[in-house]
Amino acid sequence: MVTSIVIDRTLQFLRDMPKKAVVTIDGQEITKSFHSQEIVGDMVKTYVYLDDGHGHVSTVKLVDAQGIELDQYTTSIEPSEDGLMIVFTLSVTLKGAVQG
C-alpha cells in the first residue's frame, strides 16, 4: 500500500516543478512569475495574475526550469481594464493509498 508520505511528496514535487508561466498576450509571449501556489487536498493550484490593462490573452503555459511545457491553458480572453487571475490545477490520485 502507498503511504500518505508518497502522496505528500508527489504533491510537493508537482508544486515545485513549474518555475514560471509563459502568457501569450496580443501574439507576444511574456514570462510571468506565479502569484502564488498552494496544495489543497490532492490538488496543486498555481495562480498566475495579469495586471490591469492586459491585452488579448490566447494561451498560458506552465514551464519548468529547462523551459519544458508542463501544462497549457488555451483561451480567448479579450483585452480588459481589470486584472485577471488564471488558475492551473493539477490533481493526484494514487491507487492503494493508506490514509493517515
Mean pLDDT over 38-59 rounds to 91
Residue 47 located in a structural domain: yes
Residue 7 located in a structural domain: yes
Cell reading at 14: 508537482
Max Cα–Cα distance, the chain, nearest Å: 51
Residue 98 located in a structural domain: no
Residue 43 located in a structural domain: yes
For the stretch 74-91, pLDDT in tens is: 988 888 888 889 999 999
Tell whether the model's pLDDT for residue 100 goes beyond 60.
no
Contact 88, 48 (CB under 8 A): yes
**pTM score, two decimals?**
0.85
Question: What's the rounded Cα separation, in Å, for the pair 16 and 54?
Answer: 27
Number of structural domains in the chain: 1
6-20, 41-55, 56-70: least confident range:
41-55
Residue 80 located in a structural domain: yes
